[in-house]
Each structure stands twice: as C-alpha cells, then as structure tokens.
C-alpha cells in the first residue's frame, strides 16, 4: 500500500471505530495507525476503490502460514512495535487488552480456516451503492486464485455484517465480547460478535 493510500486508510479507520483510544489514552489517529500496520502485517493482497485517485475503500485477506511478502510484513511489524512505544500512549497494556477482546475465535476453530478477511471498509458516504459488495467479491476472487478453501470473517454489531450473508457467507459462531478496560472507567461496552465462513 502506497504512503498516500496508507494516510487515507488511517482516516477511514479512525472515522469508523475508536480502536482503543479510550483505553490507551492515545489519539484515535495513533490507534488507527497501529491497527493499519497490523492489517498490513498480516495481509496477502488488497483490492481498492478510488475516485479521483482518492482511496474510498479497500478490502484484503490474510493467508495462514504464507511465505509471501515476508520482508514487507516484518517491516510493518517493526514499525508497529515502534508505535507501541510512543509516549502518547498512556496505557499500552490497556490497548493490548482492548485488541485481545476482538480475538474471540474458540479453540476448536483455531485450525479450521486457512485464512481471514483482514479488512473491509468503505467511506460512509459511499455506502448503499454496492461498492462494498464488489470489494468483497473481488477479494474473494483473489483468495480463491490463491488456492484458499475457507476464509474466516470476524465481525460484530458495529459493522454492516449483512453484506457477508448477501455474498454466500455462513455464520458459524456467535458470542458476546466485553471491553474489560471500559469497566475500569465505570462503563462496560458489550456487543454481539460473529464468525462467518466463506468457502471456495
């Protein structure tokens, strides 16, 4: 992903979710950069939607045990570690705890999938036009060409997860996640979370 696209991707992410801003005491912008680097670190390929050379949405997938793009992925992991050391972050452990809350895959499903939808996001003002669905179908096509058999999709109530059902994904797991760090602030954030599967 080019630097200009990365900057725009960070804007899209911070406009969509708080990404641990409350827990860490850091700016949402910094939390979005950390999240983007995590996505870049784990992803194989991306598809993009742009108008007038401006990134308005993108989707990507990861492939477990992939040997591709190793140097690039290591670079993103290194930069992410540097950002975790930022003095702007008041509580790095709380940020990591927040991130762990979104890893809710049960043990019996850990080895079931051969990869994951690493991201699907679209500028809010461009939704309802079928663009997100097209991004999803395009990234599924790339994953299929990459010999993947079943893709894991983690999603929750904060996302428009109905789009996954519209393209043939099956819900295989449901749980409730709780941001424990919110509890320390006198507020607990609970939401439904799901795992969808896309078979090829």
Per-residue pLDDT for 3 more than 80?
Answer: yes
Query: Considering the chain, what is the average pLDDT of its residues?
Result: 91
How far is the C-alpha of 197 from the C-alpha of 105, rounded, in Å?
12
Is the CB of residue 151 less than 8 Å from the CB of residue 198? Answer: yes
Residue 154's pLDDT band, with cuts at 50, 70 and 90, is very high
- The order of strands in the sheet holding 170-179 is 45-51, 54-63, 115-122, 150-156, 189-199, 170-179
The greatest distance separating any two alpha carbons of the chain, rounded to the nearest whole angstrom, comes to 48
Q: What is the pLDDT of residue 188?
A: 58
Q: What is the pLDDT of residue 182?
A: 46
Q: Is the dihedral of CA 38, 41, 44, 46 positive or negative?
A: positive
Q: What is the pLDDT of residue 157?
A: 80
For the chain, give every domain's residue range: 3-199
How far is the C-alpha of 27 from the C-alpha of 19, rounded, in Å?
10
Q: Is 195 exposed, middle or buried (0-12, 13-18, 19+ CB in 10 A)?
A: buried
Dihedrals phi, psi of 167, to nearest 5 degrees: -115, 25
Superfamily of domain 3-199: Gcn5-related N-acetyltransferase (GNAT) (3.40.630.30)
Residue 183's pLDDT band, with cuts at 50, 70 and 90, is very low
Confidence (pTM): 0.91
Closest CA to 161 of 178, 146, 174: 174
């Amino acid at each position: 992903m080019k630097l200009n696209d990365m900057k725009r991707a960070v804007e899209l992410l911070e406009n969509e979710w708080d990404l641990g801003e409350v827990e860490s005491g850091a700016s949402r912008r910094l939390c979005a950069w950390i999240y983007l680097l995590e996505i870049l670190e784990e992803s194989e390929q991306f598809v993009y939607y742009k108008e007038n050379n401006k990134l308005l949405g993108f989707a990507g997938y990861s492939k477990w045990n992939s040997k591709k793009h190793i140097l690039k992925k290591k670079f993103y992991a290194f930069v992410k570690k540097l950002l975790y050391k930022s003095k702007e972050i008041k509580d790095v452990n709380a940020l990591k705890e927040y991130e762990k809350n979104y890893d809710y895959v049960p043990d019996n499903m850990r080895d079931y999938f051969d990869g994951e939808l690493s991201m699907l996001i679209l500028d809010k003002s461009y939704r309802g036009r079928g663009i997100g669905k097209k991004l999803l179908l395009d990234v599924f096509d790339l994953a299929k060409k990459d010999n993947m058999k079943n893709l894991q999709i983690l999603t929750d109530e904060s996302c428009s997860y109905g789009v996954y059902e519209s393209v043939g994904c099956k819900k295989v797991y449901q749980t409730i996640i709780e941001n424990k760090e919110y509890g320390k602030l006198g507020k607990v954030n609970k939401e439904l979370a799901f795992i969808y599967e896309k078979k090829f």
